[in-house]
Amino acid sequence: MPMVRRGNGSLRAPENFRHSEEVSLSVEPSSRRVVTFLSLRREETMNISRRNLMQGAVAGLAAAMGARAAPASLAEAKAPSASITAAAVAPVVSRSLDIINLDLLQEQARLVMTAGAYAFVAGASGAEWTLRENRRAFDDFPILTHRLAGIAASDIDLGIDLLGHRLPYPIIVAPVGAHTMVHPDGEVATVTGTAAAGTLYQSSGASARPLEEIANATLGPKWFQLYFNTDVGVTRSLLERARDAGYSAIIITADAIGPGNNETFIQLGKPFPPGFTFGNHDPRHGGGGDFRSQKIDLTPEDIGFVREVTGLPVIIKGILRAGDADTAIKGGAAAIHVSNHGGRQLDGLPAAISVLREVVQVVDGRVPVIFDSGIRRGIDVFRALALGADAVAIGRPVLFGLAVGGPQGVQSVLEHLRDELSVAMLLAGAKSVKDLSPDYLRT
């Protein structure tokens, strides 16, 4: 698909773009080698100019990133053999990334993702006010440092305990669906990178790969996010499969009770890759039912149902009101996940960080509080923890790392945030994440 460059330098699909691409995949075992998968239009063979364009993009990307892969390896980039249909994605590499910041990584990801995949991941609902507000509102909480605190770098302790898991740092992966939009291995690649980074993976009910394959790809901690199905038998089956596959908690996403309104993605014709399926419902993998038949009239009783079927702790995700957190805990929730879904559901919601403290006050230590929506820097993690979150989850940046660096790119994103948090702690005079409180902020 030829890309058109906008005035602001961004890439967009031409008006007549239909997502009808087939992609040939040839997997290179060497993760150090830059491997390029070039998309091939179904009706036409990729022409030389397109190939040059894509290889130029890879070269530019590698140069821009100071990538560890030697530029010479770019010459080994492969043209497709047009035989296997899979996610229509641009260059896929597996390498660790030297990340300056996650905004720059997003720009790099934009260069290697299709316009459709980029719109799907980066976009949000409506006019995207909430998406922007999620970032802006962190500035409402300037950090107030403690001086003469006698803390050395070796004193910094980022470790936490979360629902029975000891984690080396309080940053986990948010449930995000459809990873084959950006990487042919989908969630298997993401969970591999997450495990390498030593942290916890939340597997989306909307994953492209089935939950068992994702579970089998990691020895690390993992939770399963459920989309309730209108067919109770389907819901029960998903829960039993998740329990049997070793997921140690179930997330009920309470805010995704209707289609998000991502206008750019809709304009592009919702270009899911050809042959895309929601893996958990795919009969070829033991699934059933229709992913889209979601039960949306959720109540606290549904928490009890999940607990009864699985015996696992239940996390309620998508909480923005203190009262709703209280209701969820009284209904049996073992953790509250404050989130506005990264602005992907209802535009006009407040920034998630702006409501965190109210929720934490009502939760009052009864259960852990997880936070997501808008975290891009270590100081954002710091502020969320200071406002009372026990851990934070990361959505889009993980996918951008996946697009640019494959599993190692995911690992790089998580470790980058970990390292930035560590520096923020040191410079703010905070020894342990457990010590963080609003006292470190000017609120």
Ligand X SMILES: Cc1cc2nc3c(=O)[nH]c(=O)nc-3n(C[C@H](O)[C@H](O)[C@H](O)COP(=O)(O)O)c2cc1C
Q: How far is the CB of 394 from ligand X (least distance, A)?
A: 5
Which lies closer to ligand X via its Cβ, residue 237 or residue 253?
Answer: 253
Which lies closer to ligand X via its Cβ, residue 58 or residue 88?
Answer: 88
* 191 touching ligand X, by CB under 6 A: no
Which lies closer to ligand X via its Cβ, residue 204 or residue 408?
Answer: 204
Using the rule CB under 6 A, give the single segment among 41-49, 141-149, 366-374, 404-412 that binds ligand X: 366-374
Query: Active site residue: 179, 183, 281, 341, which one?
Result: 341
- Going by C-beta distance under 8 Å and a sequence separation of 6 or more, which residues neighbour residue 364? none
Q: Is 281 a catalytic residue?
A: no
Q: How far is the CB of 439 from ligand X (least distance, A)?
A: 26
Using the rule CB under 6 A, give the single segment among 46-54, 66-74, 159-167, 371-379 that binds ligand X: 371-379
Q: Which of residues 20-79 bind ligand X (CB under 6 A)?
A: none
Q: How far is the CB of 343 from ligand X (least distance, A)?
A: 7
Nearest CA among 310, 194, 312, 308 for reference residue 248: 312
| Of 280, 339, 354, 411, the one binding ligand X by CB under 6 A | 339
Question: Which residue's CB atom is positioned nearest to ligand X?
Answer: 395
Using the rule CB under 6 A, give the single segment among 36-44, 278-286, 336-344, 434-442 that binds ligand X: 336-344
Which lies closer to ligand X via its Cβ, residue 54 or residue 251?
Answer: 251
Q: Name residue, tokens 């920034």.
A: 351
| Of 62, 65, 158, 174, the one binding ligand X by CB under 6 A | 174
* 281 touching ligand X, by CB under 6 A: no
Q: What is the 3-class SS of 298-349, one letter each residue?
A: CCHHHHHHHHHHHCCCEEEEEECCHHHHHHHHHCCCCEEEECCHHHCCCCCC
Number of residues that bind ligand X (CB under 6 A): 24
* 121 touching ligand X, by CB under 6 A: yes
Which lies closer to ligand X via its Cβ, residue 201 or residue 305?
Answer: 201
Can you read off the two tokens belonging to residue 193? 């990178």
* 179 touching ligand X, by CB under 6 A: no
* Rounded Cα distance, 57 and 265, in Å: 23
Amino acid at 321: R
Using the rule CB under 6 A, give the single segment among 211-219, 279-287, 338-346, 415-423 that binds ligand X: 338-346
Q: Per-residue x/- mask for ligand X, residues 123 to 152, rule CB under 6 A? A: -----------x------------------
| Of 110, 341, 416, 418, the one binding ligand X by CB under 6 A | 341
Q: Which of residues 204-243 bind ligand X (CB under 6 A)?
A: 204, 206, 225
| Of 394, 410, 425, 428, the one binding ligand X by CB under 6 A | 394
* 396 touching ligand X, by CB under 6 A: yes
Which lies closer to ligand X via its Cβ, residue 34 or residue 206?
Answer: 206
* Rounded Cα distance, 429 and 416, in Å: 20
Catalytic annotation, residues: 341
> Which positions touch ligand X (CB under 6 A)?
120-121, 134, 174-177, 204, 206, 225, 253, 256, 317, 339, 341-342, 344, 372-375, 394-396
